Amino acid sequence: MEQLLKLQQKIVPELLELLEKRYNILRTIYYNQPIGRRVLANNLGIGERIVRTEINFLKSQNFIEINTQGMTITREGEIINDKLKDFIHEMKGLSDIESQIKEKLKLRDIIVVPGSLDEDHTVMNELGRTAASYLRGIIKDNSIISLTGGSTIKEVVDNMPGISGLENIFVVPARGGMGKNIQTQANTLVSNLASKLSANYRLLHVPDNLSDKALGTIVEEKDIREILDIIHSSNILIYGIGRADQMARKRGLSEDKVKKIYKAGGVGEAFGYYFNRLGEVVYSTPTIGIKNDDINKIDFLVAVAGGKEKAEAIISTEINNSNSVLVTDEGAACEILNIINSQK
């Protein structure tokens, strides 16, 4: 199969371009339906004439429907969209890229979604959908799932289907921290995910950047201790990854602390910890919950992040995490490989 794909690329290289274009159109319709032709063209950054031609083809194949509200994807279109994703994944050599990154970073596994978040925002939806599919496959009876907040993890939760039949599932926030946007707060996402899994859940209402004395007092509270015991028993952790400079400011750290992190070589952030290029912790946000020392005890670490600008951050947080599964996009994966190979 792999040899056939490589042969097709050499003889009919325009085939991949056409397939990818139609896949991008179907994917954009799927995540934005119902959608009009002009909005679709703007989202994809291509001309309306090209869109009109492709839409006529997709409609003739019964992959989409068109009505007064806009275009929607049919069940047959959904099936072909998923098959196209797998086919393009192979044609672009993403399996080889996955193998190389997995070996270089010593990961448990990696899944690379076709496309780049920098160029197409629907790739974010696809990251969430792919991570949700993986998560669905690893949840068992008695699983304790902890998750961080953020827009990327919100996509995972939003794309998680309802699951029944599992027993004694617990969902908890990975760390304290309220956040400014209630829709992407860990507590909100915990509640939403628990609802989809018919699971039990507990919330942790602790602001970021409290003093050590204040945190010490809070930890002594009986309810907080009980929640922390559950969090520290997590066997699945789902988290996003950010650039150290951006996350430090987003978390409200002072400029002095931001500079301190920068001078220490911090490039990536995950679950409140800031890492340098070697994967060493250079700073941690003062809060309670999952500790970096807990990571090796967790069965499944599921990191979800995309975008070329996050490549260095992804390397810093994921390197040598042998129980980590990375879900990322093609843009970030290619840049990760470039960085790794340039360091030889």
Query: pLDDT value at position 8?
Result: 64
Q: Residue 92 is encoded by which pair of tokens?
A: 């672009």
User: Any idea what the CATH number is for the domain that residue 8 is in?
Assistant: 1.10.10.10
Query: pLDDT value at position 342?
Result: 85
Same structural domain, 32 and 55 = yes
Give the closest residue to 306 by CA, choosing from 183, 138, 181, 129.
129
User: What does the DSSP assignment read for 230-242?
Assistant: HHTT-SEEEEE-E
Instruction: Tell which of 91, 107, 124 closes a domain.
Output: 91
What's the structural domain count of the chain? Answer: 2
Q: What is the pLDDT of residues 228-248, one digit of tens each?
A: 889 999 999 999 999 999 998
Same structural domain, 73 and 151 = no
Q: Are 212 and 294 in contact (CB under 8 A)?
A: no
Same structural domain, 276 and 330 = yes
Task: Find the domain containing 132 and state its range.
Answer: 94-342
Query: pLDDT value at position 289?
Result: 83
Place of tokens 């994966």: 333
Same structural domain, 308 and 201 = yes
Cα distance between residue 305 and residue 301, in whole Å:
13
Same structural domain, 80 and 98 = no
**In the structure, what pLDDT confidence band is assigned to residue 224 with cuts at 50, 70 and 90?**
confident
Query: pLDDT value at position 253?
Result: 83
Strand-pairing partners, residue 327, are 111, 304
Same structural domain, 6 and 151 = no
Q: What is the pLDDT of residues 113-129, one digit of tens each?
A: 998 998 888 899 999 99
Q: What is the pLDDT of residues 255-279, one digit of tens each?
A: 898 899 999 999 999 988 999 999 9
Same structural domain, 154 and 43 = no
Same structural domain, 242 and 294 = yes
Q: What is the pLDDT of residues 310-342, one digit of tens each?
A: 999 999 999 988 899 999 999 999 999 999 988
Query: pLDDT value at position 6?
Result: 62
Cα distance between residue 49 and residue 335, in whole Å:
33
Q: What is the pLDDT of residues 160-217, one digit of tens each?
A: 988 888 899 999 999 876 556 788 888 999 999 999 999 999 988 776 666 667 777 7
Same structural domain, 160 and 231 = yes
User: Any idea what the CATH number is for the domain that residue 336 is in?
Assistant: 3.40.50.1360
Same structural domain, 163 and 184 = yes
Instruction: Tell which of 31, 64, 91 closes a domain.
Output: 91
Cα distance between residue 128 and residue 4, in whole Å:
31
Instruction: Tell which of 67, 91, 115 closes a domain.
Output: 91
Same structural domain, 117 and 84 = no
Strand-pairing partners, residue 273, are 270, 284
Same structural domain, 196 and 68 = no
Phi and psi angles of residue 168, each rounded to the nearest 5 degrees, phi first = 55, 45
